[in-house]
Structure 1
């Protein structure tokens, strides 16, 4: 899916906080102009493919009428106590062709049973079951590891395996993200990425992601811009060597917010990130074998602010323009059949290129009709066969001479290599190291912006 949105909205939006303490009066929740279609259309304008809604944050206030607690929209004046934000967003997503996912905080600062063990797990599973069964197919259940003290000072030990089993049973096509076995957190909330991102990592990393040790623990806006420099290499041969656990497929997601905070705060109306900055994150994440999850927080009236929507629209234009600058070319390969690897992007393609096993230097050459200014090359493996490329070099031909433009150690689903614009009549991608015969789904050259 590559690029999709987070919507942080709830009681914290009304109280102008990031982490509510729970027990706020439900009468405070009354977004008079809530428009889920406006939210979804703003995300779609940016080129997103899905939306994940914070159905319940750490304060415990539920955006749907939960049978497990009285602390929900049913106790608020909004829609006369008969509203359901989750239903409205799910329906809007379907109307506009986006997939729908849910965030349900395991930490609940209102529920009295939090910290008690099985009793709280029963409560959480009851709410999880509600959101998994009432709103149609889900593409994602997003779980973080926030874990604070309960009313009696104890912390809840989450029964992750039980939660996963419920999700698998009720939404078998949904990925379980972050504190889950399917999609991995990149390690920061600033939109930073690794030089080389591997989807194949040591199996022990899945266990580590279930802990709260690396999750945000305070209402601290600075956390959203903190970049962790540890674990920069998760999947090279050197990183995998010595691990007793078998490697697993555990792809990365890069998450960050359009604003300094995750919820809307009027004081941050002048701090909306620019389309230029977000497009750079897009190129590094979607172009770095990761998915990009961008948070867009609606305001207390229930609408995304005009400034935020304008940035998203401009971001969508930049993404569309980048794709439109793909240079038509004639493809030749060092061996095998090129398939549609050189013509499919930005679509998925159907027939990848697989060189012969005896090919010592597998390569794809894209020849243009004449000299063109090139500023990027898009590469992608067919990940149905795993992640195999360990080093790839991109070269350009001008006046009959080849020069190196860029190189990378990992490709995965998609790698976008950018470089200063250069005039060339052909580019070539050479796989110089691989764990098995490489299988490339896409190779495309991008012309320089005029």
Structure 2
């Protein structure tokens, strides 16, 4: 216990000093972006008329009376999210069909016009309160495309969208993320809308400055370029947005997937993927829910590559998370906890190629990413040897940069000691907030991490070793 307390105090001491020693290189995350990075995994919930019509993209002509969940319970959603280890829920407050899950003053296509709770219900109010009660953060998806609103396709619609967004951002407590879809199709009058995104962004900043904003080009979080939950094996948190737009004018999907090595803005990737083949609930997909193992593999290709995982779990026609989805979420949590429970490198002996004054190598294995180490300021390559107290079995390594000082590492290798020499084990490019790599199972007492190339002197927060299942 004394060693743990001393390690923590040393970490706290060095953090206060290191913040003055480490120069920021390139763009770095804001405080709210850092809170977002630390969330890692949260839920998406597609819910609305499509849930009852078996569509993915509603036409906007649906009768509001189709929306009538028989047992809606947002507390069940929030409880399952919390128990699964998800840190938040983003709800489709308004999808492309224009139906609002709250009684908006700016639409006639809302829960107010539905039979649910005799038109007195408000899904967002119930969900916001449930999230607050269960310690889960609350986020909102609000589609700019509206296939129902009669003003869509005119300048007046931009006014309507701003008022609608303001209504949401002011009325439901703190919002952790605002999700903008880039879809732009025709409205009921056959016209497309010229979205005033600069004005939308000013409104969001004014009324929910604590929220990160997602879109193809941010400004805070970017789409990863696919809906499969897969970030690039090279994944820069940096992106150039000049000359690009949301939707059809977005950067190429490979750029969104990888980022830009020397990008001008810190806009990290979010991996959205559904637990089912579709985004909304469809009864015929109850047997096609991704398993806990499937979700664990997605975790490694998203969070394990420095992105965040946004997993869609659509409520069913009762207004509940289906038992099949809940079971997979709990299996996923159990796999994460069981596989990453024991860090074999915790408080191991650390030897480094060089070390800057004030940076303790032991902080690399103290269990805290924010207590960090760096080589001499002039060095852009280095090595770190981790020697355990005895030989152990392991097949997974987790690396973390101290990204508050920028993302720096461009290439690294990992070697294992075979009793006579270090031999190659695995390699990678970017690290970022978190990088997890698996390799053939080893029995050894020592490994070496080589930072081969870095944009500046690397600043590393944590190195951990695990003996995991093979995914």
- Which residue of the partner structure matches residue 292 of structure 2? 275
1:129 is matched with: 166
- 1:235 pairs with 2:260: yes
- Does 1:388 pair with 2:408? yes
Matched residue, 1:5: 43
Stretches of structure 1 lacking an aligned partner (at least 5 in a row): 216-226, 241-245
Q: Describe the shift of the 1:231–1:335 C-alpha distance in structure 2 as closer, same or farther (beyond 3 A).
A: same
Mapped contact 1:427–1:445 kept (Cα < 8 A): no
Contact 1:145 1:211 in 2 (8 A): yes
Q: Distance in 2 between matches of 1:413 and 1:192?
A: 16
Q: Which has the higher helix share?
A: 2
Q: Distance in 2 between matches of 1:247 and 1:339?
A: 33
Q: Which residue of 2 aligns with 1:338?
A: 361
What are the Cα deviations for residues 168-212 of structure 1, in whole angstroms up to 9, with x where unaligned?
Answer: 0111111110243111111111122212111123233xx535133
Question: Which of 75, 78, 84 pairs up with 1:40?
Answer: 78
Deviates more, 1:120-129 or 1:246-255: 246-255
The answer on whether the counterparts of 2:174 and 2:208 sit within 8 Å (CA) in structure 1 is: yes
Alignment check: 8 A CA contact 2:412 2:450 kept: yes
Cα 1:290–1:209 shift into 2, 3 Å: farther
Q: Counterpart of 1:221?
A: none
Task: Tell me how far apart the structure 1 counterparts of residues 317 and 424 of structure 2 sit (CA, whole Å).
Answer: 52
CA distance in 2, matches of 1:133, 1:234: 33
What is the CA distance between 1:398 and its match in structure 2?
Answer: 2.9
Q: CA deviation at 1:448?
A: 3.7
Q: Aligned-pair distance for 1:360?
A: 6.5
User: How far 1:232 sits from its partner (Å)?
Assistant: 6.0
Question: Alignment partner for residue 102 of structure 1, among 128, 140, 144?
Answer: 140
Alignment check: 8 A CA contact 1:46 1:312 kept? yes
Provide the C-alpha distance between the structure 1 equivalents of 2:228 and 2:259, rounded to a whole number of angstroms: 19
CA pair 446-43 structure 1, distance change in 2 beyond 3 A:
same
Q: Give the conservation status (yes or no) of the 8 Å contact 1:340–1:350.
A: no
Superposition deviation, residue 359 in structure 1: 4.4
**Are 1:370 and 2:390 counterparts?**
yes
Per-residue deviation at 1:228?
Answer: 6.1
Provide the aligned C-alpha RMSD in A. Answer: 2.0
Q: Which residue of 1 aligns with 2:317?
A: 300
Structure 1 residue 335: deviation in Å?
2.6
2:91 is aligned to: 53
Structure 1 SS opposite 2:365: coil
Give the C-alpha shift of residue 369 in structure 1. 1.5
Contact 1:184 1:209 in 2 (8 A): no
The 3 A distance-change label for structure 1 pair 331 and 92 is: farther
The normalised TM-score by structure 1 is 0.90
Matches within 5 A, 1:23-34: 23-34=61-72
Structure 2: unaligned runs, 5 residues or longer: 1-38
**How many angstroms apart in 1 are the aligned matches of 2:258 and 2:220?**
19
Query: Matches of 2:362 and 2:132 in 1, distance apart?
Result: 34
Write out aligned runs for 1:59-138 (5 A).
59-116=97-154, 118-138=155-175
